[in-house]
Amino acid sequence: MALPTLLAPLDEDRRRLVAVLDLLAATPEPEARADLAGELVRVCARYEDAKKRAVYPALRGQSGHSAAIDRAEDDQRAVRRAMVEIRNRTRHVKPINAHADDPEGFEHSLDTLIDAVRRHLDQEDQELLPLVSGLDRAEQQELSHHLERAVATASTHPDPPHNPLGRAAANLGERIDRTVNDTSTTWHPGVDQLPDPDHKQSGES
């Protein structure tokens, strides 16, 4: 489902997220799947971080919809747990080596993440996106303002701390990890197959 115009700042990450999921479904090679698994964590983390900081609080203000937001947040927690597991399996590990120690365990963890993300996106499409149209003009303007900043400063950490200092430290670690990864791994057998390989992450804070 296409995002409402009000949520346009999320569109790039949403499209890339779906593209990664689709490519994983069509990619059997372990090295490419491990490469895509790392990208799935990064783009999904950004997408979920922006929603948590801007979209969910805005929709919480609408009466009668708390159950839908609760379900979305429950699904998001499941996605975050699955992202942490894949991050632990891919962090500082080259894609060619990610399956070496526990190939079945890696694929099980990846399938768990894929299933959690797809389930979360389905719930988002069916329940949350229609609620955006119910916001009044002032609420829409406020959401637009907060969402632009949330997307611009979204974290690639799968479960960033809530407090500002902890969040800043986690994001710094993510930037360092990404720099090290880009230096040590110049070929990305999975990510390079995505339709927009020149996608660049926005700055984090």
In a domain, 204, yes or no: no
In a domain, 157, yes or no: yes
- Residue 197 predicted with pLDDT over 60: no
Q: How many folded domains does the chain comprise?
A: 1
- Residue 201 predicted with pLDDT over 70: no
Could you tell me the pLDDT band of residue 62, with boundaries at 50, 70 and 90? confident
In a domain, 97, yes or no: yes
In a domain, 118, yes or no: yes
Query: Residue 190's CB: how many other CB atoms inside 10 A?
Result: 22
pTM for the model stands at 0.87
Please tell me which residue, 40 or 195, carries the higher pLDDT value.
40
- Residue indicated by tokens 């365990």: 105
CATH code for the domain in which residue 74 is found: 1.20.120
How far apart (Å, rounded) are the C-alpha atoms in residues 106 and 103?
Answer: 5
Q: What digits encode the pLDDT tens for the residues 158-172?
A: 988 787 788 777 777
Which pLDDT score is estimated for 187?
Answer: 67
Domain residues for 87?
A: 5-179
